[in-house]
Amino acid sequence: MEQRLARWRATACTSAARDSAVYALDAVTGAPAWKRELGQRVTTGFAVIGRSICFATADSVIHRLDTRTGATVRDLMAGEMLAQRPAVLGDSLIYFRRLPVADLRRS
C-alpha cells in the first residue's frame, strides 16, 4: 500500500503574503519538501502546468518551478508587475496586462 501511495504522492506549494519564498509540502504527510528563496515578493497565485508551477514576483518575472525539486524550469520577464494568477491553456501560459485608461479610450 505504501508503494502505491508513494507513486501518487503530490506536492502542495504555497507562499506567505509578504514572503519572498515558495514552500512545498508533501501533500500526504504535510512534511516540508523544499523551500525556494526568490529575493522578491510573490505577487500572484499559482498556475499548474504538468509537473511545474507558474507565478510572478514583484520584479516582473514569471517563474516556472519544478514541483518535485523547486528547480527553475524557466523564467520570463513580464515587463510589468503582475497581480493576477497566470492562466493555463494546454501547454501555454497566459497572463493579462492592465492597460492605462488612456489606451482603453483610443479607437
pLDDT digits (tens, 9 = 90+) for 76-93: 888 777 777 777 877 777
The rounded distance, in Å, linking the Cα atoms of 74 and 40 is 16
pLDDT per position as a tens digit, 28-42 = 888 888 899 999 988
- State yes or no: pLDDT of 1 exceeds 90: no
Length of the chain: 107
Strand arrangement of the beta sheet that strand 61-66 belongs to: 47-49, 52-56, 61-66, 72-77
Whole-angstrom distance, CA of residue 28 vs CA of residue 43: 27
Write phi, then psi, for 105 (nearest 5 degrees): -85, -15
pTM confidence score: 0.73
